[in-house]
Amino acid sequence: MNLSNTALIVILILLILFSGLFSAVETAYSSASRIRLKAMSGHDAKADGVLSILEDYDRFISAVLIGNNIVNILAATLATVYFTRLFSEQGAGISTVVMTFLVLMFGEIAPKTIAKKMPESFAMKTLGFVQFFQFLLTPLTWIFSGWQSLVSRFVKPDNDESDISDELITMVDEAQKEGDLKAHESDLISAAIEFNDLEVRDILTPRVNVVAVSITSSLEEAEKVFRNNSYSRLPVYETNIDNIVGVIHEKDLYNLVMTKEPRQSLRRIIKPVIYTNENVKIFTLLKQLQYAKLHLAVVLDEYGGTAGIITIEDIIEELVGEIYDEHDTVQEYYERINDHTWLVKCNADIDDMMERFGVEYDGDEYDFITVSGWVIHELDRIPQAGDTFDYKNLHVTVTKADQRKVNEIRVEIQDAEKE
C-alpha cells in the first residue's frame, strides 16, 4: 500500500516524537533517585510503580531499547521512501542527513536534557507508557533477556572494590554543588559518614601533651594544676604517667577542699577510667564511654604504657567541629606570611595541611598523623632549626624544634602561579 506524502510526514513526526519519548524515559529511569522515590512512595502510588519497574531494570531497559530502535529504524526507512520520491537518486543521502539531525535534536538531545532535570517527576508521569510497552514487548523482552544472561556467563565483571562511604561523600558533594545542601550541612553529613572509619589514634591527646597529677600530690598542688590549665578533669597516675589509675573532677576537688578536714587525700575523689588501645574505632569507644557513664579513656600502647588520653568531647568534635568554651584558647595552626609562604604549627593534622595546600597525599601508608611526625619521617631523624627539604611542590624549612619533636615549619609553595 502506497502512502501519500502527507501521511508519511505525519507518521515521521509521530515516530520522532516516540523516539524522543523512549530516550527521555531511559534517561529519567536511569537517573531517578531511589531514595527520593522511596520518600514519596508512602503518599504517591506512582512512585511505588516506578520503584517496582526499577527492581527489574534489565527488563525495563530491554523494552525501552527495543522500542527506541524499532521507531528509529522505521523512521529512517519511511524518510528514505519520502525523500526518494522527491529527489530520486539523491533521496537516500538527503534522508540520512535530515534524519540524523532530527533524531539527534528531537529524539535524543532535547528529551534527555529535559528528563535529566526532573528524573523522578518525569518517570512518574510516564509510568503508564512504560508499563504498556513492557507488556506489549514482553515476548521480545524475554528473548533478549535470555541473550543477555547468556552473554553474562562469558563476560565476568571486575570485582567492585569501591567503598560505599566514598560514593556517599561524592553524592553529598554533588548535592552541595547543586544547591540542595548548604556547606555546613554537607560538612556534618560527610563527618558522620567518615566517623566510623576513624580510630582512637587519629584524635587522641598524645602522652607528651597529657596534663596529669600524681596520686601523692596535695590538694593545693592539684588545685594549682587545675587553675593553670583550665581543665575540668585531670588524670591521676601512680608512680609515673604509664600507670594512670583514675581521674579527678575539679568540682570534687573544691568540695573536698571546702570540708577543711585534716589529712585529706586525692584517693577519696578518684573516679575510674576505662582503658583502650590506639586501633579501636572511636564509634565503639563512644558507646563504651556512654555505657560506663565516663568522660575519659586512657589509651594504651602495645607495651601497656600510656599512649595518650581521649575524651567524649574529642570524639564529638569529629562530628560537629571544635567546641570552645569561655576558658579555651583558640589555637591557630597556620599563619600566612605571603601568597606563597605559611608558618605551620607542627601539631597540626598532616592530612589537613596537605589538603589546604592542594597536595596529593595518601596518609594511610604511614603511622604518623601530625606535621611533626611527617617532618621527622622525611628527614629520617629528629630535625633541628634550619633543616630543609622538598616534598612535591612544597619547600619546607624547620623554624622551631627541640630535642624530641618539631614545633614549627615554614612552607613555601613552589610554582604557585602555575598552581
Residues 42, 79 within the same domain = yes
Q: Please give the pLDDT value at position 94.
A: 87
Average pLDDT over residues 255-264: 75
User: What would the mean pLDDT of 107-125 be, rounded to a whole number?
Assistant: 88
Same domain, 190 and 206: no
In a domain? residue 133: yes
0.75 surpassed by pTM: no
Domain check: are 305 and 360 in the same one? no
Domain shared by 118 and 171, yes or no: no
**pLDDT for the residue 157:** 60
Q: Are 23 and 112 in contact (CB under 8 A)?
A: yes
The enclosing domain of 259 has a CATH number of 3.10.580.10
The single residue listed with the C-alpha cell 508499563 is 131
Residue 262: pLDDT band by 50, 70, 90 thresholds?
A: low
| 248 and 281, same domain (yes or no) | yes
Residues 20 and 76 in one domain: yes
The one-letter amino acid at 122:
F
Mean pLDDT, the chain, as a whole number?
83
416 or 232, which is more confident?
Answer: 232
pLDDT cut 90: percent of the chain above it = 13
- What was the pLDDT predicted at 417? 46
Same domain, yes or no: 205 and 236: yes
**Is the pLDDT assigned to residue 247 strictly greater than 90?**
yes
Residue 137 covered by a domain:
yes
Could you tell me which residue, 4 or 390, shows the higher pLDDT? 390
Number of domains in the chain: 4
In a domain, 418, yes or no: no
Q: Residue 235: is its pLDDT beyond 90?
A: yes
pLDDT for res 165: 64
Say whether pLDDT at 30 is over 90: no
Q: Give the model's pLDDT for residue 179.
A: 66
Q: Residues 313, 397: one domain? A: no
Q: Which three cell numbers stand for residue 24?
A: 527521555
Cβ-based burial of 248 (10 A; exposed 0-12, middle 13-18, buried ≥19): buried
Q: Is the pLDDT of residue 9 over 80?
A: yes
**Which of the listed residues 173, 195, 217 is the one where a domain comes to its end?**
195
Q: Which long-range contacts (CB under 8 A, 24 or more apart) does 238-245 make?
A: 238/214, 241/207, 241/210, 241/212, 241/306, 242/304, 242/305, 242/306, 243/306, 244/212, 244/273, 244/298, 244/306, 244/309, 245/215, 245/270
Average pLDDT over every residue of 265-291: 90
Position 231 in a domain: yes
Q: Which domain holds residue 389?
A: 334-413
Residues 181 and 116 in one domain: no
Query: Is 205 within a domain?
Result: yes
141-188, pLDDT tens digit by residue? 777 777 767 777 776 665 555 556 666 677 677 766 766 667 767 777
Residues 188, 238 within the same domain: no
For the cut 80, the answer to whether the pLDDT of residue 7 exceeds it is: yes
**Which band of pLDDT confidence, cut at 50, 70 and 90, is reported for residue 283?**
confident
Both 118 and 145 in a single domain? yes
Residue 1: pLDDT band by 50, 70, 90 thresholds? very low
**pLDDT tens string 333-367:** 888 888 889 999 888 888 888 888 888 877 666 77
419 located within any domain: no
Same domain, 371 and 308: no
159 inside domain:
no
Q: Residue 396: pLDDT above 50?
A: yes
Q: Between 333 and 252, name the one with better pLDDT.
A: 252
Residue type, 259: T
pLDDT tens across 72-106, in order? 899 888 888 888 888 887 888 888 888 888 888 88
CATH number of the domain bearing residue 386: 3.30.465.10
Structure confidence at residue 418 as a pLDDT band (50, 70, 90): very low
Domain boundary among 320, 346, 380: 320
pLDDT band at 419 (very low <50, low <70, confident <90, very high): very low
Residue 327 lies in a domain: no
Residue with cell 605559611: 342
